[in-house]
Chains A and B, each alone.
Chain A
Amino acid sequence: MPKVTKEEKKTNIISAALKLFSEKGFYVTTIPDIAQKVGMSVGNFYNYFSSKDILAKELVMYISEYLGENIRLINEKDISTEKKIDEIVSMYFNMADNRPEMIEYFLRVYLSNREVFGNGCEGMICVSAFVTELMIFFDNGVSSGELQDQDFFSAFGLFMGYLGGMVFLFGEKILPEPLNSYKKSISTNIYNALKAR
């Protein structure tokens, strides 16, 4: 049986912690719960993360880097900004379908427990990989003349607030249709709201 590397064990912890935090909540979930789910001792867990708060911050950075890397791949494609919006929406909704714990964690833990993230994870510190890539997306869109020049946060809020809201409704089982069936209309709405005129 191949030996599990330290890096793989760390990824396993991240995966298990994301699921537990998003299902049970941040405060209810304990380190023994996480260690048990991964199949390691509590003592060994501390070799990877020295506290629950540090793990919580690492998880935000993990999600931010995952999103950032995926948006970067889309940014680097030689396609129109309208098509990039389609692809970002698809990527985000696929992530919500396939790894719901990542977006659940972001919405229900990161955005709802600011006291945990206030020290060392405030502002852009833990989410810069993701936000930077959206800045590149908007900058490219305006430079190419496809998007309207406007305040960054107005555009960012419209784009990500919309997607986050839809995933939240999906998580609450309020949406009558599967998430994927909204991709086209949402992409079109975002493009229409942001396009140059």
Chain B
Amino acid sequence: MHSKQDKKLKILWFRGVTCNGNTHSFLNLPHLEQLLNRFEILYHPILESTLSLVEITKLKDKCDIFIFEGAYDPLMRRNEVLIGDIVTHYAKNAKHIIAAGSCASFGGIFKASAPQRNSGLIFNEDVEYGPLQSYKDRVINLSGCPIHPEWLSYVLGMILNKKEIEVDSLHRPIELYSNLAHHGCTRNEYFEWKVDADNFGEKEGCLFYKQGCRAPMTHSSCNKILWNNVSSKTRVGTPCFGCTEPNFPLTNLFSTKTNMSIPKDVPVGISKRSYLTLTGIAKTFYIKRLEGKLIDYKRDN
């Protein structure tokens, strides 16, 4: 007779080449305990687990949900076992495979450090590549550097409730990644009227024109599902770095790439011609309220 514990779905969380940022981010989930109580943690490098690293590298067990964090390096070993053997063994038997973070999804920063060797589980940037091609239909990519804890919570919740998770062509859940990081940005009025933030850290002004913000080109819900429930990069004056996209990391993250003052990249789904037409007209107008500190304007008007 099975105990209640046996009926819980088993999670195995395994690390490739990683900074553990996704683990740390996940630990910030406000309802972490309630969520994890509904699963059995077969193995996690930090959380209390049923099995040890030595035991899981014997490749005798199976899990229901295989979560992989970090880039895949085919030469890497854990407890002397090639990581390729470990990943393949658990993926083969898992009902769900989750790539947690941009490194596991597309290679990310650790692919950039060894571009000829490292990759994500099923993608090298946006090209299909990696050790789990045979199981790609079961792979969910949660890109982000790191992932937002609520994104992983959403996926685990959907699995728990036996709901289908619809994904985009890069295997990211569309419910989380159909938004752009631009959506919900508190600086949107400055974007509408093309008023720049001239200096780093300013509360007023849009970060798209000079500060390198990638939010209009980045699929992510960072300004909709806020970080620590209160904020986001753009809200505190840091540009979006586009960390959920397969081409992450880019270089010169704090400056906007332009060709003759014209942004090299324009918002997703908008032709450059349309964007420039709108921008040129919007820039024609001088709106005093948007040119200085909002508090100063309010005091004076």
Bound-complex Cα distance A149 to B285 (A): 26
A182 sits at the interface (CB 8 A): no
Contact with B along A136-157 (1 / 0, CB 8 A): 1011011100010111110100
Bound-complex Cα distance A59 to B138 (A): 60
Number of interface residues of A (CB under 8 A): 24
- A interface secondary structure, majority: helix
The reply to whether B260 and A142 contact each other, CB–CB distance below 8 Å, is yes
Question: For chain A residues 153-195, which have a beta carbon within 8 Å of chain B?
Answer: 153, 155
The reply to whether A155 and B277 contact each other, CB–CB distance below 8 Å, is no
Q: Knowing A123-B283, A124-B280, A124-B281 touch, does A132 contact B273 (C-beta < 8 A)?
A: yes
Task: Report A-chain residues with C-beta under 8 Å of the C-beta of B258.
Answer: 149
In the complex, what's the smallest C-beta–C-beta distance from B261 to chain A, in angstroms? 4
Question: For chain B residues 240-291, which have a beta carbon within 8 Å of chain A?
Answer: 258-262, 264, 272-273, 276-277, 280-281, 283-285
The reply to whether B277 and A129 contact each other, CB–CB distance below 8 Å, is yes
Smallest CB gap from B263: residue in A? A139
Contact with B along A60-86 (1 / 0, CB 8 A): 000000000000100000000000000
The reply to whether B280 and A143 contact each other, CB–CB distance below 8 Å, is no
The reply to whether A138 and B281 contact each other, CB–CB distance below 8 Å, is no
A131 sits at the interface (CB 8 A): yes
Smallest CB gap from B258: residue in A? A149
In the complex, what's the smallest C-beta–C-beta distance from A152 to chain B, in angstroms? 4
In the complex, what's the smallest C-beta–C-beta distance from A50 to chain B, in angstroms? 22
In the complex, what's the smallest C-beta–C-beta distance from B277 to chain A, in angstroms? 5
In the complex, what's the smallest C-beta–C-beta distance from B45 to chain A, in angstroms? 44
In the complex, what's the smallest C-beta–C-beta distance from A139 to chain B, in angstroms? 5
Picked from B276, B281, B285, the residue with its CB within 8 Å of the CB of A135 is B276
A125 sits at the interface (CB 8 A): yes
Task: Report A-chain residues with C-beta under 8 Å of the C-beta of B259.
Answer: 138-139, 141-143, 149
Smallest CB gap from A127: residue in B? B280
Bound-complex Cα distance A96 to B196 (A): 38
Q: Knowing A136-B272, A142-B259, A143-B259 touch, does A125 contact B264 (C-beta < 8 A)?
A: no
Task: Report A-chain residues with C-beta under 8 Å of the C-beta of B285.
Answer: 123
A122 sits at the interface (CB 8 A): yes
In the complex, what's the smallest C-beta–C-beta distance from B181 to chain A, in angstroms? 24
Bound-complex Cα distance A48 to B281 (A): 25
Task: Report B-chain residues with C-beta under 8 Å of the C-beta of A152.
Answer: 260-262
Task: Report A-chain residues with C-beta under 8 Å of the C-beta of B281.
Answer: 123-125, 128
Task: Report B-chain residues with C-beta under 8 Å of the C-beta of A143.
Answer: 259, 264
The reply to whether B262 and A135 contact each other, CB–CB distance below 8 Å, is yes
Residue among B260, B264, B280 facing the most chain A CB atoms (10 A cut-off): B260
Bound-complex Cα distance A72 to B274 (A): 13
Given A141-B260, A149-B259, A155-B260, 8 extra CB contacts under 8 A: A123-B281, A123-B283, A133-B273, A135-B280, A136-B273, A138-B262, A139-B259, A147-B260
User: What are 18 of the A-B contact pairs (CB < 8 Å)?
Assistant: A122-B284, A123-B280, A123-B283, A123-B285, A124-B283, A128-B280, A131-B280, A132-B277, A133-B273, A135-B260, A139-B260, A141-B259, A143-B264, A147-B260, A150-B260, A152-B262, A153-B261, A155-B260
5 closest pairs, A vs B, by CB? A123-B284, A142-B259, A124-B280, A152-B261, A138-B260
